[in-house]
Chain A
């Protein structure tokens, strides 16, 4: 074998034609969430703005792509997808979804879902999207994204990490609203049952306006201890939520495309 052959093979490995393993962690779009935040012109809105919340993608990439086209017509400032970006946590699916969100017409961020944690999934999420625990302020409101996939970690008692949430759920900087986003809703069997009440109490205590979740694949809404909870349909059902914030008012509508 010639001395250049290994280098040539490594060069080939760098392009997308070759897959070394279905769970390999390399290439593709990186830090998609951080880049979405960079694109978000955060000083423009104050007190009134719109954002979209999208449900599970899984094997519904086509519907997700259509949804990303549709948001361009809805005058929303950004999108948050509430987890299960992939069905199998494979590198290939992560790559597709990362570029889908990165190329979306408005800045788009993702929460981590249970399907995104299989195999090397957590590593893949860190690689393509960054930390699953993310806090940012926009238009005077605060947005908190976190991991609530307790069952994937076999209910260790700190998923979701309530200490961290307690610190992050501070009053919004300019008196706006608090919004939280995670994949598994607190009353679901995949959410750590020992953390359900403390979590719901914390959300109520901190005056969270709306808590958004996915996982169930079917739309529902609920009010618990004064906090509104919304579960999105999976994108298979070709709809998502548009949230309109205008001062004190927070209006949520399900839009079909």
Chain B
């Protein structure tokens, strides 16, 4: 059994850490690229959202490297993500790929369904080992998120253009290389040292919150490397959801304390959006409210074309923006979106924020 999974930002690092720790053979799909998108878009339904197309492309490319089992998450709607696996599987089947599909669904009847799937993938590992594996993966997720946060802080302030990214890449390798939980603390030290080596210059920066659909938030290929671009424009960004927060909210049901949680975001959404709308629609609205209260200079909403929950959120953002006095920009991505258009819009938006703040 050679297990693969879709890419979503740096998720592969913690997933393969967990699976390999448990002795599962893993095939990480090649990094998402233009080719991935072309393959996915060719075979996926035209109006499916971008994540589905990229997932599909990942699976086709992973099959070329010998993967035969797909591990992915499911859901119970109303967002389309809950039915991705089934549609993708039907498409792959018609294309002649013989994939086994293991979907981690939130248990509908009893938790045994979920446990048996975990057992299926992890084989002979004991439950205790499985828990340690999950913990290992999760710790890596926390480290990667910490690293990203640090990069968001450094990029607009770095003395030499590109030094943050260089350090980031090196630090990421340190995390990836760790094969056993006991080596994590030392790796953490090394990562901190590497990042501390980036020279910075104090200067006024803009603070922008990034909200929206989780896949587009986390996958730099999907959002055209938005955070890096903003960093270079002198903007310190904060993302409304990081991977470890998402994992804690959705898989651990909030077990880990002290992390930002979706609950606060949802509580902040009324009166703009009074009900959950699936996906991260309500969180998007609520996080925007929270960024406004924290004095951020602006908010950017990211969504894949036709994403239903985000379209609902988008419909109420203009009113929110006027009401709370925080400028918002919505960026929709799909296989047609080009870089030049994005850059122009970003520059115009940042220009506006800078003028408003008087830091031109």
Q: Do A and B come from one complex?
A: no
Which chain B residues have a beta carbon within 8 Å of chain A's beta carbons?
none
